[in-house]
Every structure is written in C-alpha cells, then in structure tokens.
Amino acid sequence: MTISYDIKNKTALVTGANRGIGKVIVETFLEKGATKVYAGVRNLNKAEPLIEQYGDRVEAILIDLAKPETITAAAQQAKDVEVVVNNAGVLKSSTPLDIDALDSLNYEMEMNVGGLVRMAQAFAPVLKTNGGGAFIQLNSVASIKNFVPFSTYSASKAAAYSITQALRDLLSEQGTSVISVHPGPIATDMGDDAGLTEIAEPPSLVADSIVTALNNGDFHVFPDTMAKQIEAVYQNFAENIVEANIMES
Ligand SMILES: NC(=O)c1ccc[n+]([C@@H]2O[C@H](COP(=O)([O-])OP(=O)(O)OC[C@H]3O[C@@H](n4cnc5c(N)ncnc54)[C@H](OP(=O)(O)O)[C@@H]3O)[C@@H](O)[C@H]2O)c1
C-alpha cells in the first residue's frame, strides 16, 4: 500500500545532522514546513549553527552510532518524533585486497548496518505510538554496485539496503513508510574523501528527493544524475523483485 506523507507540520529527527547531506535534510524539512527537527549529533555543540538559524525549531540530540546507549536515550528524549532519517554513515577507502580490509569492513558494518538496526529498534515503537510516520535510510548506489576503491563501504551499504527492505515489510504493519535513498556522488566531505569531488552533485538533490518520495509514497529514491542512470536499468528488478511479494506470486 502506498502512503502519501507531507513533512509539513511534522516532527523529524536526522542523524549526522551537523554537516553534509544530513544538515541539508534538516534545512529542507524546516523550509518545507516541518514543525521541529531533532538534530542528531555526536557533540551537542555541533548543532549550534542550525539552532542559531532556526531557533527552537531545532533541538540538538546526542546520537553517536558507536555508542548504542545514546540511541536508546535519544528515543526516550524524542518521544514526539514522526519522521526518522538515519543519515549518519562512514566510509573507508578499502578494497578486499588491502591489508586493512577487515578492519574497515568491521567498522563500516558496525556503523552503517549496526547503526541502522539500532536506530530502527529504538525508534520503531516511537513511530508506532505517533501514528506510523516514516523511517528513511541513507543507502547509496554502492548498495547496488560495488565501487573500488571503497569496496568495503559498498558491502556495508549493500547490507544496509537489505536490512532496509526487511524494515519496509516489518514496519508496514504499523503504518510506517520506509524509504531507501540511493545517492550517487554528492558534494560533501565524504564525497571528497571518496575522490568524487569532480563529479559530485549538490546535497539539496538528496533532501528534495526525500520530500518528494514522502509525498509519493515511494520506497526507492535515486536523487542525482548517476543514481538516475542506475535507476533506469534497475527499476524493473526493483519493482518486480524487491518491492514485490514474490512469496505469494
Ligand atoms: N556523499 C556521497 O557521495 C554519498 C553518496 C551516497 C550515499 N551517501 C550516504 O549519505 C549519508 C551522509 O553522507 P555525507 O556525504 O553527508 O557524509 P559526511 O559529509 O561524511 O557526514 C557524515 C555525517 O555522519 C556523522 N557521523 C559519522 N560517524 C558517526 C557516528 N559514529 N555517529 C553519529 N554520527 C556520525 C558525521 O558527524 P561528525 O561531524 O561528528 O563526524 C556527519 O554529520 C551517509 O550515510 C553516506 O553513506 C553519501
């Protein structure tokens, strides 16, 4: 079932809200009429620029994916949240043949996949209490295709995409829309670290595409030029396998 959802007059929470894509998501939600956004940050001071700009429509909230107790405490604090965006993520440039491959893989799996699982476990009951709402996960085109030299990151994003599919099925029972966002190269610190500066596109494309997907009730979101190229070929598989209930066909 497709659920249309308007960010206007909603209360949202965004992890990794102090810079990059997360910060632009916070700004976009507020500009589109969200009542309030909890800015999930590892250090509360990092939310100051957003609070200076938007006043009490932004509340800083401590969320460090490496410290699971901060996630459970945040779910206690943000009891009124209706839209959760798990945006925080980490990237190491490692291939399977690099000496540090397993260290990178373990770290990325812990943050990018473990972080997602912990966020979903903590916030699913809150979303249910508040009428269902939406849970949005920042995945990647690297969830679908492995990119050298950030192969271990790609593997973690593939795993996160798989978990996101499970959440879509599980949370539909409580009326929560789940959205899987798959950006290509985006102009942020991570984009620079991955060597994508030359081909990166603005983070606003990602934030705007999330607002549109909420309105349209879409599961998959492909915001930018490279992502849309992949979507053009992947769409058939996405609709007929990933989004379909093939156990019943
Ligand atoms: N940029 C791209 O090209 C691209 C493409 C596809 C998908 N994505 C995904 O989009 C999301 C945002 O990426 P971005 O480009 O905006 O990254 P970024 O510029 O590197 O920013 C990462 C954000 O995540 C936070 N973070 C890092 N480790 C954390 C932890 N342990 N706990 C909580 N927060 C943590 C950072 O906080 P601090 O400031 O405290 O470090 C920062 O706010 C990620 O999930 C990424 O995988 C990015």
Each residue's pLDDT expressed in tens, for the chain with a length of 249 residues: 567 899 999 999 999 999 999 999 999 999 999 999 999 999 999 999 999 999 999 999 999 999 999 999 999 999 999 999 999 999 999 999 999 999 999 999 999 999 999 999 999 999 999 999 999 999 999 999 999 999 999 999 999 999 999 999 999 999 999 999 999 999 999 999 999 999 999 999 999 999 999 999 999 999 999 999 999 999 999 999 999 998 875
Q: What is the pLDDT of residue 246?
A: 87
- Residue 42 lies inside a defined structural domain of this protein: yes
Identify the pLDDT of residue 203. Answer: 98
Residue 21 lies in a domain: yes
- Structural domain contains residue 178: yes
Q: Is residue 3 one of the residues assigned to a domain? A: no
Residues with CB under 6 Å of ligand 1 are: 15-16, 18-22, 42, 63-66, 87-90, 111, 138, 140, 183, 185-186, 188-191, 196
For residue 176, the CA-to-ligand 1 centroid distance in Å is 24
Q: Is residue 249 part of a domain?
A: no
In a domain, 247, yes or no: no
pTM: 0.98
Place of tokens 């507020």: 30
How many structural domains does the chain have?
1
Q: Is 166 within the bounds of a domain?
A: yes
3-state per-residue secondary structure call for 134-151: EEEEECCHHHCCCCCCCH
- Ligand 1 atom showing the smallest separation from residue 189 Cα: 19
Mutate to test the pocket of ligand 1, among 71, 84, 90, 147 (most ligand atoms within 8 A of CB): 90
CATH of the domain at 49: 3.40.50.720
Q: Residue 96 domain-assigned? A: yes
Look up the domain containing 234 and give its range: 11-242
Do the Cβ atoms of 114 and 89 come closer than 8 Å? Answer: no
